[in-house]
Structure 1
Amino acid sequence: QEHDDLLKAEPAAAPFIKPMLDAQDYLQGGQRWALWLKDAAPSDLAKLPQVRKRIEDVKAWRLKSPRLQTQKKAETPALFGEDRHPTRGEYLVVPSVSSERRDYIPVGYMTDETIVNNLVFMVPDADLFHYGVLQSRLHMDWMRLVSGRLESRYRYSKDLSYNTFPWPDRAALKPKQIDAVTNAAQAVLDARTKHASSTLAQMYDPSIMPTDLRAAHNQLDRAVEALYGIKAGSTVAQRLNILLNEYQALAPTLAMTGAAKAPRAKKASKNK
């Protein structure tokens, strides 16, 4: 309603209104909006009194904060407190909290037109290979082992879940192995598109998960596990044993060099 009222009163504000996403909206559906004024010229804002009123409200809110850092940010009330938003292209979204009932945390692509808040993680510069590995059963096995919990739900973390994951050495893989993962990853995205009338929470409810989406995930799982020499029919314990051995081998090298095998995951911006 606020979105509609603002556009009705100040249509010129439209270029500065962006869709905004948190974990619940991403999984359950729903819409919210943010004023993204990073590139707004003072001459534009001078013509938008209601937008300026919101800027003044943010300034007042920050000045009342007990945190000196927040008070300092009152000097730039038109900007988000933290700006980690990708400047162009697509990025991956990983919800920070997901139901323990799901076999997979639904990872997905967003364009830079959508602003995400600090309840999701984003991975800029991620291609289909990165997506495929993150969305695989193998990464979910690792996530369940190392991640925290919010009540009984899984609490994904860039430090515990993402940065610790032993990514395969992409440079050592054969082109057909990479193609198998990217093609299977695209098939997962294509299967989701066929069920666009459903939310991700509905699609990934294990009781009603569409059969074509389940089949696409199974194919992706096999492609990713093959990168690690994991055979079909493996158990969770067997897969984790291989991952832990990989982690043990990689940890000393990564600690010394700071090397990374995948795009860095970031916590998204705070909306204040």
Structure 2
Amino acid sequence: MGTALVTGASAGLGLEFAWQLATARHDVVLVARDEQRLTRLAGQLEAAAGIHAEVLAADLTDTSDVERVAARLRADERPVGLLVNNAGLGLNQRFVDGDLAAEERALDLMVRTPMVLSHAAAGAMVARGRGAILNVGSVAGLIATGTYSAHKAWVRVFTEALAVELKGTGVTATVVCPGFTRTEFHERGRIDTRHYPELGWLDAEDVVAAALADVRRGVVISTPSLRYKAASALLRLAPRSAVRAYGGYRRALKDEADEGRTGAS
């Protein structure tokens, strides 16, 4: 069934991608920083699904580590037929008075790394005449709530441009744009989710299943769930002034929640 490489495979959506791909009989290359966690996961996948799971420990904010992953994507032995650019992080800070080094790491992880890895994968896949690239974006890319929104907007437009360039090559590019999803993402980013609407939450299993189904169909923009399809359509049609006002409203809610948490500590 071919080999899939998943970044950020040790947790969250990446972990779910690894499991669903393995149970669909794909060999997997697992990429994340925590080698011990990846090794444990690889053993579980091999035992449960009977596939080959390769561990590639890498810090995707480090250019030399990113190049090691890119080299694996270019390799002819056990060629990668699906790249899942999933690794990401949440920054629970304002930009103006925030830690610039943290912003630069986030930019490297969510913009530079998908670009470098997509370049390596696309070159190898086009030469073979088949393959797929799946980038994890977000509905946040349609709003204006900090640099995370900017990063995910870049991922969406980059994927669309890549899909145009790849047309007719046998290689596809898809960006999945979920909304709030129940994973470790918010906890790891120390993001208070108490003000997030309960109706807005998606399950990781459903998001990943929808994304992989859309990859198989060659869909360019994959938006799991009808409610987020509707929200995305509304955001695209709304005046940008209204979108910015919504972003300001969300920021105010977040600040209120942060103040409440600080006061209670």
Q: One fold, TM greater than 0.5? A: no
Which one scores higher on RCO, CA 8 angstroms, separation ≥ 6? 1
TM-score, normalised on structure 2? 0.30
TM-score, normalised on structure 1? 0.30
Q: Which has the higher helix share?
A: 2
